[in-house]
Amino acid sequence: MSELSHFDETGAARMVDVSVKSETLREARASAVVRMNPATLALIKDVKLAKGDVLAVARLAGIMGAKRTGDLIPLCHPLPITGVQVDFTYLDDSSLRIDAVVRTFGRTGVEMEALTAASVAALTVYDMCKSVDRVMIIESIRLDSKRGGKSDFVREPG
């Protein structure tokens, strides 16, 4: 169990002590895809849903989700986030991609914050559109890259 950092030598869960790590600029990028009926995506694009501007609300939800990650994930450190960006791309007539970028200057990374931002934004799209499209699918929630700390990571395309 020693290779998993959130468990001690006896197998008990623990919060990793990052006090000996250096403070550096940390950045993580994550994404999610929401697939839906083409008519639903058209309503989002045209801001025609009764609940209002889906993307504006989803952007705010993603930002708020990133800020609250330490409250949601039991062993995550609460972090002083310095920036969150949530953007949307129409992949085709029935798919919306959500990209989240989170930054901090600290002792631990913001991968979980970026993943939470993308996830919460996707869930908000679902919530705002479920009255017209209950068959939406949230998929491909993933870390795309991280930098800062001991190692960098960039997901291979595909």
- pLDDT value at position 4? 65
Q: Are 143 and 26 in contact (CB under 8 A)?
A: no
Tens-binned pLDDT, residue by residue, of the chain (158 aa):
347 677 888 888 888 888 888 899 999 999 999 999 999 999 999 999 999 999 999 999 999 999 999 999 999 999 999 999 999 999 999 999 999 999 999 999 999 999 999 999 999 999 999 999 999 999 999 999 999 988 999 999 87
pLDDT recorded at residue 155: 96
Provide the pairing of β-strand 81-92 with 153-154. unpaired
Q: Which two tokens stand for residue 52?
A: 């209002």
Catalytically annotated residue among 46, 53, 99, 127: 127
- Whether 87 is a known active-site residue: answer no
**What is the rounded end-to-end Cα distance, in angstroms, of the chain?**
31
- Ordered structural domains, the chain, with CATH: 24-148 (3.30.70.640)
